[in-house]
Amino acid sequence: MAIVNDLQQFSQTKLPVEIFEHIADYLVTFVSPGVNNSGSICSRKPFFSEVAGFMGASLMLHNIGMSRWVEVITIRAPEDWEVVLRFFNTVSCLDGAFGSGVSDSILAQFPHLRTVSIDAHSDVYRNPSGRFSYRDVFTSLPVSLVCLEITHAHGPDLRIIEMARTYCPNLETLRLGRCTMFNRHLTCDFWSGFPFDHDAYIASDGTNEYALSVSQEMISLKKLKNLRLGVYLIPSTAVLAHRAYHVQNQPEPAHIQWHQALIDLGIADARQPPNPALLISLYHQKPEPNFGPNSCTLCHDAFFNQSKNAEQNASVVMKENIPSLETVEWMDWFSPSHLGASSYTVSSLTEAHVH
């Protein structure tokens, strides 16, 4: 209370307003997400309780503090848009933010928005026939956008890339994240229905061709510097190899068949027909925060060099088509909970260095 009273007295003096603005800059300091991490692209701000005293001291201090506080906003529900439209700089849209009654072009109403993170988990739905269909969570973006992050998507990256090309000529950072068995250990409806399709984001075949195809779609993004792809460049059988064999201190067989792997692990009965529910349970496990390059010798020996070579070569391919690129990131199996990224500095058309 004494601090608030002091602020009230100071704010009523003839001190230059710039002094209070410097204080507000210090109090509302945004923490950068960093270059290579498994978190969001959006900066973090202090808890409101840490700045409430400053903003509650007077109307002037409230206005000074609030103008900074709302530079980073999280959209949790459709009704939040009505408030956020008044303040804009960085917006984080959680799953459900684009709900009923919210225009799928609402982001275009933010003419000065620079950074946006969108949880696109609702990009699939069951149609009247009971089958899954893709849909656009959003259909436009503000031209001012510099950083775009998509998380938990199921649909192809191409649609997001098309919108970035159309609306965001000044885009510098693009992260294309997927819904995976690692960030959804409680299985979502989509992966419950498609347990055999995880090779959509885990694969080691044709990685250079994949990089070429994706980068050709981004050629018109002349200012793109930082790119993260939500795919793991390791064999699609790596998860079964580790969780069915390596955990038993056994090397994986040359050819891994999922039902046989479950039998070898002791959780399936060879006398019973294959049960995909057991595979789903094996795939969607609790996070492994202590996993790393040296956690499993068998994983390291089987996949590490192959994976890193594929990432490096694919990064060079990306650079060839997008000369402005400075860093390329790939999802990294050899990271805590398998949620981190391998980052490569692409300094030339022939070299990519681990960042």
Least confident of 6-15, 72-81, 180-189: 6-15
Least confident of 99-108, 181-190, 294-303, 314-323: 99-108
pLDDT in tens, 272-310: 999 999 999 999 999 999 999 999 999 999 999 999 999
Write the CA distances from 67 to 112, 132, 141, 151, 311, integer angstroms.
14, 42, 23, 28, 42
Inform me whether the pLDDT recorded for 6 exceeds 60.
Answer: no
Q: Are 259 and 312 in contact (CB under 8 A)?
A: no
Quick one: tokens of 341? Answer: 């990224």
Write the CA distances from 326 to 41, 121, 230, 323, integer angstroms.
17, 29, 18, 8
Max mean pLDDT among 3-17, 62-76, 281-295 falls in 281-295
Name the more confident of 269 and 104: 269
Looking at residue 96, its pLDDT comes to 79
pLDDT in tens, 164-204: 999 999 999 999 999 999 998 889 999 999 999 999 999 99
Distance in angstroms (rounded) separating the CA atoms of residues 116 and 145: 8
Name the more confident of 111 and 175: 175
Quick one: tokens of 103? Answer: 């225009």
Inform me whether the pLDDT recorded for 148 exceeds 50.
Answer: yes
Name the more confident of 58 and 271: 271
Q: How confident is the model at residue 1 (pLDDT cuts 50, 70, 90)?
A: very low
Name the more confident of 352 and 320: 320
By DSSP bridging, strand 327-331 and strand 353-354 are: unpaired
Looking at residue 352, its pLDDT comes to 67
- Reported pTM: 0.78
Name the more confident of 255 and 84: 255
pLDDT in tens, 25-41: 777 666 666 554 556 66
> What's at 283, amino acid-wise?
Y
Looking at residue 37, its pLDDT comes to 55
- 237-250 mean pLDDT: 97
**For the chain, what is the mean pLDDT?**
85
- 92-121 mean pLDDT: 80
Percent of all residues in the chain with a pLDDT value above 90, rounded to a whole number: 61
Percent of all residues in the chain with a pLDDT value above 70, rounded to a whole number: 77
Distance in angstroms (rounded) separating the CA atoms of residues 353 and 355: 6
Name the more confident of 235 and 5: 235
Looking at residue 2, its pLDDT comes to 46
